[in-house]
Amino acid sequence: MPEDLAGIVTEAVADSAAEWDLAGEIPVDLLRGLGGKGLLCPEVETGFGGLGLTGRECGRLTAHVGSLCSSLRSVMTSQGMGAWTIRRLGDRAQREQYLRRLTDGELVAVAFSEPDAGSDLSAMSTGIGEDGDSLVVDGVKTWITASAYADLVVVFGRYGDGGAAVIVPATAPGVRIDPVPAPLGCRAAGHATVTLDAVRVPRENLLGAAGNSLAMLTTIALTYGRLSVAWGCVGILRACLDAATEHARSREQAGVPIARHQLVARHLADLYVAERTATLVCEDASRCWDAGSPDQVSRAVLAKYVASRAAAQGAARAVQVLASAAAREGGVVARAYRDAKLMEIIEGSTEICQLVLADRAMGVGR
C-alpha cells in the first residue's frame, strides 16, 4: 500500500472517529473528498480515474481505514463493492460512465438484503420489470450500508427468469431512504432501509443481462465485499492490539504494569495471535484474488469467517484488558467491541460461512 494513501486517510479521520460514532454520521463532504481521490474504491483502474491498486494493496489500505474507523471502512466496502459490480457486470459504456463518477466524489451503496431475504438471498422478492425503454423497480431493501449517503444504489433483484442488478439514482422518484436509528455497531456507516416504489430508470441502467443467475451475480459482488470486510476486521484487531498493549504498559496494579500479570498477558498473546492469523488469511485470499484463482471464492469466505470471529473475540479481550478505561462510548475499544460483532453478521453470517466451508471441505457439498 502506498504510504501516502494511508496518510491521507489518517489525516482526514484525525481524532473524529469517536465523534462520528456518537453522532451516527460522517460528514458527507469528507466522504466525497476521499471518494474523489479514488480512495473509497482503490482497485478501479487508472483508465477509469481510479488508483489501480491490486487486491492486496487495497486490502492493506482497507485494514488501515478499519483500524481508524469501521464506519468509514464500511462506506469504503460499499463503494468498492459497487464499483466492482459495475466493473464485472457492466458493459464498456457503463464502466466508463459510472466508474468515473465513483472516483469523482459520487457515493454508491449495494442492496441485497430484504426483510425476508437475509442469509437466504434466493428469497429476494425485489423485482426489475420492463416497460418500454424503462425498467421499473419495486421492493424493500434493509440494512443497506452507506445508503444514507449514497448518490447511487446498485439494487439486486429478480429479472425475468433470473436476476440482475440495476443502478438507481437515490434521487429518482419513488426511492425512499430511511436511516436505521442507532445501530449496534458501525453507527456512522449510513445503514438505511431503501424502499423502491415503482421506480423508473432507463434501460441502460441494467447491470447483467437476461438469463443471468441471481445467485451467481450476488456471489460475484459479495466475494469483493467479504474480502473487504475481512481486511476491515484486521484493522479492528490492530486498533485493539495497540490500545491493549499501550494500556497494559502504562496501567499499574499491585505495583507493576498489568502486562506483568499472567492472566492479562494471556489476553495480549491471544490478541496478537488473532491479528496475525487474520492478516495471514486475508493476505492469502487477496493473493488468490490477484492471481485470478478460482480459490478466491472460498478463500474470501474463509478470510471473512476467520477475521470476523477473531475481531469479535479480540475486541472482547481488549475491553477486558482496558476494563473501565474501555467502558466509554465512542472510545476505540468500545467501538471495536460493537463494530466487530456486526462483522460476524454481515456479508454472510458466521453460520453461513461455516456451511460454505463445510461444502468446500467435502468437495461436492454435504
Binding residues (CB under 8 A) for another protein: these are 88-89, 91, 162, 208-213, 215-217, 219-220, 223, 292-298, 301, 356, 359, 362-366
Considering the complex, state which of residue 37 and residue 158 has its C-beta at the smaller distance from another protein. 158
Say which DSSP state 115 is in: T
In the complex, what is the shortest distance from the CB of residue 187 to another protein, in angstroms, rounded to a whole number? 31
In the complex, what is the shortest distance from the CB of residue 327 to another protein, in angstroms, rounded to a whole number? 40
In the complex, what is the shortest distance from the CB of residue 280 to another protein, in angstroms, rounded to a whole number? 22
Cα–Cα nearest to 229, from 306, 167, 160, 151:
306
Considering the complex, state which of residue 97 and residue 195 has its C-beta at the smaller distance from another protein. 97
Considering the complex, state which of residue 304 and residue 335 has its C-beta at the smaller distance from another protein. 304
In the complex, what is the shortest distance from the CB of residue 296 to another protein, in angstroms, rounded to a whole number? 6
Considering the complex, state which of residue 56 and residue 88 has its C-beta at the smaller distance from another protein. 88
Considering the complex, state which of residue 261 and residue 360 has its C-beta at the smaller distance from another protein. 360
In the complex, what is the shortest distance from the CB of residue 219 to another protein, in angstroms, rounded to a whole number? 4
Strands 127-131 and 134-144: antiparallel
Block residue for cell numbers 441502460 = 204
Residue 246 to residues 23, 252, 324, Cα–Cα distance (Å) = 27, 12, 15
Alpha-carbon span 186 to 336, nearest angstrom: 9
Alpha helices, H only, 184-261: 214-250
In the complex, what is the shortest distance from the CB of residue 34 to another protein, in angstroms, rounded to a whole number? 29
Cα–Cα nearest to 227, from 62, 51, 2:
62
For 162, half-sphere exposure in the C-beta direction (CA atoms, 13 angstrom radius) is 15
Residue 299 to residues 134, 197, 288, 308, 356, Cα–Cα distance (Å) = 39, 38, 8, 14, 11
Block residue for cell numbers 504498559 = 249
In the complex, what is the shortest distance from the CB of residue 211 to another protein, in angstroms, rounded to a whole number? 4
Considering the complex, state which of residue 316 and residue 355 has its C-beta at the smaller distance from another protein. 355
Q: Under a CB-based contact definition with an 8 Å cutoff, are residues 50 and 99 in contact?
A: yes
Block residue for cell numbers 491490486 = 54
Q: Under a CB-based contact definition with an 8 Å cutoff, are residues 66 and 233 in contact?
A: yes
Which amino acid belongs to residue 184? L
Burial-class residue 70 by CB neighbours within 10 Å (0-12, 13-18, 19+).
buried
Considering the complex, state which of residue 62 and residue 212 has its C-beta at the smaller distance from another protein. 212
Please tell me whether residue 318 adopts helix, strand or coil conformation.
helix
In the complex, what is the shortest distance from the CB of residue 103 to another protein, in angstroms, rounded to a whole number? 21
Considering the complex, state which of residue 255 and residue 363 has its C-beta at the smaller distance from another protein. 363
